[in-house]
Amino acid sequence: MPHTFRARYGLVRHLHKICEGTYIIEGYSLYSRGAEGMADLEGGPFITVGMPMAACCDVSADKECGITIPKNETVDGVKFIRHEEACALKGISPDDAAPGYYCYVKITTKMT
């Protein structure tokens, strides 16, 4: 089950833990910006290589999602991905077209 949280402006974000060291954050975003090692969705979260993964979103209050993020887990890679790749990583069929203004960010992490 994903961890669902609200970014600034009340925008809903979903964090999926794909496997150890791989996550997807997704949600509607009218605009976003990115560069090598950085992604920033409208209202956040801002994600960059080297930051603690726990700073991307606090899962500690969400006991139902089953996601835990160790304090020493840091972002090692971040990039925007397409709907089809996100569906493949989540193990679901991309039968439906990607929703308009919807973003997917793949995050890889390492333990420091």
- pLDDT, one tens digit per residue, over 42-76 is 999 999 999 999 998 888 878 888 898 999 999 99
Mean residue pLDDT of the chain comes to 93
* pLDDT for res 63: 80
| Residue among 13, 18, 28, 90 at smallest CA distance from 58 | 13
What ranges do the domains of the chain cover? 3-111
Beta strands 3-6 and 12-19 are antiparallel
Whether 30 shows a pLDDT value over 90: the answer reads: yes
* pLDDT for res 98: 81
* pLDDT for res 102: 95
Residue 83 binned pLDDT confidence (cut-offs 50, 70, 90): very high
Cα-based distances in Å from 23 to 9, 18, 52, 66: 23, 5, 13, 13
